[in-house]
Amino acid sequence: MSELAAKLADLRTRFSTDVNAAPDEEALDGVRVAFLGRSGEVTGLRRGIGQLPPGERPGAGKEINDVVEAMEGELAIAQSRIENRVFEADLATQIDITFPAIAPVAGSLHPVRNVIRQAGAYFRRHGFAIVTGPEIEPDYYTFDALNIPSTHPAREGFDSFFITDTLLLRPHTSPMQIRTMQAHKPPVAIVAPGKCYRRDAVDARHLFQFNQIEGLLVAEGIHFGHLKGMLTGLCRELLGPDQRVRFRPSFFPFTEPSAEVDTTCPKCKGHSDACNMCGGSGWIELGGAGMVHPNVLREVGYDPDEVSGWAFGFGVERFALTRFEIDDIRRFIDSDPDFLEQLS
């Protein structure tokens, strides 16, 4: 090894040791100046080239340049290492690890879904099965089989979305009564929750798509008292233990006798003439009910002389409006988490 090569090897070793030991940018700069600066060690070696025989000078110059290039590379790596360390240290001072964490947002059931679940649980406890069915139905299941022939004016009351002349979005869940009775001999006890559609103009009390929950019980000896007992129990379970139920005579083609069902206004309990929820009447309308019409029983092959039954249908959103004392049904479909969270 030439004298120059030995010097360069020694210089490299000392340079590397000092670079790795430099704790910060200032120290690193000091190492750079000591070795590569104008009066540094490398400059000293370059000056020595002049003492060499002319033939060895170019080779020596290249040897020194190669080493300088390697040293500069080493410096750059050390420089970025120190910068990263500084950045991480800064970050640690900027992050307050004692600050409360951002809690993950946990969803919950929609209030309308909750009402369906709780009503379903009530009826299941009493031996009812929960059934669901298609939202597009032939008019046979929607009207004809329910004692509403095509000439019956009651069809007007179910403002419907027809897809073809005979297919429509169901305006009530009652087709499930027919489908269930056709598939099973009595006794039957079902509740059918699901979406329904009517051509209603949307306002604070109406949506063109809403949920209904429907109940049907057919067996020997079933009478109106059974219906009253079940609906009173439902209202007490979902709205409060003091709820009462009122039946007002009404007309539906598929039940006879038929009734509108009201329950005690849960807000004023019937004690305020100025109540904005019930308009001072003390009652809230829930839906319709009645004893299944003999024509409906005959249509599905049941004998009205042997079995009887009741049916009811409630709007779930209406029920939820009452339960949560909300003034506008549209709030259920606004997808506003701030509103919905209050009801979960």
Per DSSP, helices labelled H in 22-56 are 25-36, 41-49
277 touching Zn ion, by CB under 5 A: yes
Asked if 315 contacts 211 with a C-beta cutoff of 8 angstroms, the reply is yes
Characterize 234-247 residue by residue with b for buried, 16 or more Cβ atoms within 10 angstroms of its Cβ, and e for exposed.
Answer: bbbebbeeebebbb
Could you count the other beta carbons within 10 Å of the beta carbon of residue 21? 11
Q: Which of 36, 154, 268, 333 binds Zn ion (CB under 5 A)?
A: 268
* Segment lying near Zn ion (by CB under 5 A), choices 74-82, 100-108, 177-185, 266-274: 266-274
Characterize 287-297 residue by residue with b for buried, 16 or more Cβ atoms within 10 angstroms of its Cβ, and e for exposed.
Answer: bbbbbbbeebb
Shortest reach from residue 327's CB to Zn ion, in Å: 12
* Segment lying near Zn ion (by CB under 5 A), choices 153-161, 234-242, 264-272, 332-340: 264-272
275 touching Zn ion, by CB under 5 A: yes
Tell me, what DSSP letter sits at residue 254? T
Asked if 175 contacts 142 with a C-beta cutoff of 8 angstroms, the reply is yes
* Segment lying near Zn ion (by CB under 5 A), choices 11-19, 52-60, 157-165, 278-286: 278-286
Q: What angle do the packed helices 25-36 and 41-49 form, to 10 degrees? A: 10
Nearer to Zn ion, 226 or 267 (CB): 267
Shortest reach from residue 268's CB to Zn ion, in Å: 3
x-marked contacts with Zn ion along 281-320 as a string, rule CB under 5 A: ----------------------------------------
330 touching Zn ion, by CB under 5 A: no
Distance between CA atoms of residues 105 and 48, nearest Å: 73
Q: Which of 152, 267, 285, 330 binds Zn ion (CB under 5 A)?
A: 267
Rg of the chain taking only CA atoms, in angstroms: 43
Shortest reach from residue 277's CB to Zn ion, in Å: 5
Nearer to Zn ion, 31 or 277 (CB): 277
Size of residue set near Zn ion by CB under 5 A: 6
Shortest reach from residue 110's CB to Zn ion, in Å: 25
278 touching Zn ion, by CB under 5 A: yes
Nearer to Zn ion, 325 or 334 (CB): 325
Tokens of 47: 């000056």
- Secondary-structure percent of the chain, ordered helix, strand, coil, rounded to 5: 45, 20, 35
52 touching Zn ion, by CB under 5 A: no
Nearer to Zn ion, 44 or 280 (CB): 280
239 touching Zn ion, by CB under 5 A: no
Nearer to Zn ion, 27 or 275 (CB): 275
Three-point CA angle 36, 39, 44, nearest 5°: 80
Characterize 96-109 residue by residue with b for buried, 16 or more Cβ atoms within 10 angstroms of its Cβ, and e for exposed.
Answer: eeeeeeeeeeeeee
Q: Which of 191, 265, 286, 326 binds Zn ion (CB under 5 A)?
A: 265
Q: What is the largest CA-CA distance in the chain?
A: 132
* Segment lying near Zn ion (by CB under 5 A), choices 190-198, 240-248, 265-273, 314-322: 265-273
78 touching Zn ion, by CB under 5 A: no
Residues lying near Zn ion in the complex (CB under 5 A) are found at 265, 267-268, 275, 277-278
